[in-house]
Amino acid sequence: MKVQLVSLSKPSLNDPILICGLPGAAFVGKFAIDHLITELAAKPLLELYSDGLPPQVVVGQDGSAALMSNGLYFWENEEGKDLIFYTADAQPTTPESEYILSEKVIDFVVEEYKSKELVTLGAYVTGAYSSSPKVYAAATDSRCARIIEDLGCTLMGGGAITGMNGLLLGMAKLKGMSGFSLLGETSGYSFDGKASGVVLKYLGKLIGVNIKPEKLEKRAIDAQEVLNAIDRTSGQRDSPTQPELKRPNYIS
């Protein structure tokens, strides 16, 4: 698999934490990371292009087309560690490409910025709606597990975290980083801004950054309305941005 890295800037960052949120079930991690990038006015750092991504282009509102890509953004924190955000138009289409791309991202932040920590954001799909979603969590080691449990998250006692939202955590551990995976409880049947919001609540506690999630639920509702309109028009659900409907207890 080919991966092309396109540098967009070269800031001097202070011990940055890598925060990852990729498209997955209910778009919990994706909505969360895009909200962070917007609200904190994060700046572009790097673009990654790969033939492991779906073979299609993304068309913008102005009609322009571009290859699907992954991107890194950075935010300089005046009160603590800087942040690097990792998001994407889509996850790779094969397990091999997921491994390769995960390693490329981890190697980049370690080699270029000496990053030692990361947090991945994703979904814990139960198949049932919850008015007060929990956040389930896993960590690279028992010390980190105690930290996240003390914040109020529910530690996973088994199972697996699929896709790159989980794979990045394992790859980071292999490369000497420590970190966490925060998974918002969701039915998985529609875009879930509420689950994204509760994930951001615990992320803010973990990294010591004030995050305002108020706009998240409206963004999720607006996105679902657009998807529903497409469904009514086309009679099919083949949009690359639709949430995946997963069986209960699927975690991604």
pLDDT computed for residue 211 by the predictor: 86
For 31-40, write each residue's pLDDT tens digit: 999 999 999 9
Task: State the pLDDT confidence band at 219, using cuts at 50, 70 and 90.
Answer: low
State the Cα–Cα distance between residues 112 and 11, nearest whole angstrom: 10
For 42-75, write each residue's pLDDT tens digit: 999 999 999 999 999 989 889 999 999 999 999 9
Q: What is the mean pLDDT of residues 193-219?
A: 86
Q: At residue 226, does pLDDT exceed 90? A: no
Q: Which domains does the chain have, with CATH numbers?
A: 3-230 (3.40.50.10900)
Distance of CA 173 to the CA centre of its chain: 17
* Mean pLDDT of all residues belonging to the chain: 88
pLDDT computed for residue 193 by the predictor: 87
Handedness of CA 167, 247, 142, 197 (dihedral sign): positive
pLDDT greater at residue 214 or residue 142: 142
Q: What is the mean pLDDT of residues 76-98?
A: 95
pLDDT computed for residue 152 by the predictor: 95
Task: State the pLDDT confidence band at 120, using cuts at 50, 70 and 90.
Answer: very high
Task: State the pLDDT confidence band at 244, using cuts at 50, 70 and 90.
Answer: very low
Handedness of CA 72, 74, 195, 161 (dihedral sign): positive
Q: At residue 245, does pLDDT exceed 50? A: no
State the Cα–Cα distance between residues 188 and 129, nearest whole angstrom: 9
Task: State the pLDDT confidence band at 139, using cuts at 50, 70 and 90.
Answer: very high
Cα angle, residue 13 at apex, residues 48 and 1 outer, rounded to 5°? 20
41-55, 97-111, 153-167, 202-216: the lowest-pLDDT one:
202-216
Task: State the pLDDT confidence band at 210, using cuts at 50, 70 and 90.
Answer: confident
